[in-house]
Amino acid sequence: MTDRTPTVHRAPAGALPGGGWTLRSPSGVVAELLDFGARLQSLSMPDRHGRTADIVLGAVDQRQLHGDGAYFGATVGRYGNRIARGELPLDGTVHTLATQRTGHTLHGGPDGFATRHWDAEPVRTDHAAGVRFHLTSPDGDQGFPGTLDVHVTYLLDAGGTLTIRYRATTDAPTVVNLTNHAYFNLAGEGNGTIGDHLLRVHADAYLPVDAELIPLGPPAPVAGTPFDLNRPTPLGPRLGLDHPQLALAGGGFDHNWILRPAVGLRPAAELHHPASGRRVECLTTEPGLQVYTGNHFHGSTGPAEAPHPRHGGIALETQHHPDSPHHPGYPSTVLRPGEEYDSTTAYRFTTGQPASENSAEDGPGRDAGGR
């Protein structure tokens, strides 16, 4: 092992809320993981001048992990995103799931995977270091059928790419849709909003939603709408547009984009902060990307000295589509005995200017105004 090899260490007791691990890459990227929720608690990286900042919003204590910060950086499941009315139709039976106060099942229910203590062990390869988390979700957990055996592995490589691999098996038919719920602010946690970030999403369609953020049905084209992010687009002006779908989501994005089909890892999104030079590229094997722009942050979530304002972070959640069990035309989320759920997402963290086609001058297209 050389000083160019990433490392993994158990954090000292009390150093991180919920017990955790520290991954270090020679690129300067440092990730902290928690056993509680198998979550990404923080990720520090340098800017173009070598100044380091934590670019992931994280909870500061156990109380917050059970409250406003419950989903921050967490592995959410058994089903990320929403299942309408808590009704799961599967093989001719409708299973009743646990619901939140909205009357729908969000992120696996009120006591989903984000609220669990996972078993954990360090993992090392020739080029990466990380942690493998394990959880057994019993039959009937939050109303879901089947005992689900889940492994989530984080690996940080020497170049600063954090890869998350999700694997699961079941002893009875069920549905599975796992994702990570990290919020990014590339200026650094507590440093304003994401309004000065540029976002690109590789998608030609998205899922419009109703007033309760349940997909209406078929995908809609992004062309001519605020959802056309095929070129790097400043978020501040885009989030401020007058468009019915933005209003339904609370004044911003909380929608699923339909990624272009591909085999293996495909580009999903790029987020860039021109002032610092920090950039994150998101690649995934999943068919969709949920983008949530912190529309309901209210200034009380986060460290007392740096509360998160509205639009204080952005989540790039790779996943299957919301409410898929009620939409046969969406890619299936059903997992059966003898099959393996296997999903991979990678976040590549770099510093510097994007390629010319991704430059800051490439703002919103003239047809993207949401008229």
Which two tokens mark 174? 């069920």
Tell me whether residue 166 is annotated as binding: no
Residue 367: C-alpha distances to residues 78, 240, 278, 279, 343 (Å): 38, 16, 28, 26, 35
Which two tokens mark 228? 């056309």
Closest C-alpha to 72, from 34, 117, 108: 34
Contact 189, 43 (CB under 8 A): no
Tell me whether residue 127 is annotated as binding: no
DSSP conformational letter for 230? S
Tell me whether residue 254 is annotated as binding: yes
Tell me whether residue 81 is annotated as binding: yes
Contact 110, 100 (CB under 8 A): yes
325 phi/psi in degrees, rounded to 5: -60, -20
Instruction: Report long-range pairs for 300-303 (Cβ below 8 Å, ≥24 apart).
Output: 300/68, 301/64, 301/68, 301/69, 302/57, 302/60, 302/69, 302/189, 302/190, 303/60, 303/189, 303/190
Catalytic residues: 181, 317
Contact 259, 287 (CB under 8 A): yes
Tell me whether residue 182 is annotated as binding: yes
Annotated binding residues for beta-D-galactose, written as ranges, equal: 81-82, 181-183, 254
Annotated binding residues, written as ranges, equal: 81-82, 181-183, 254
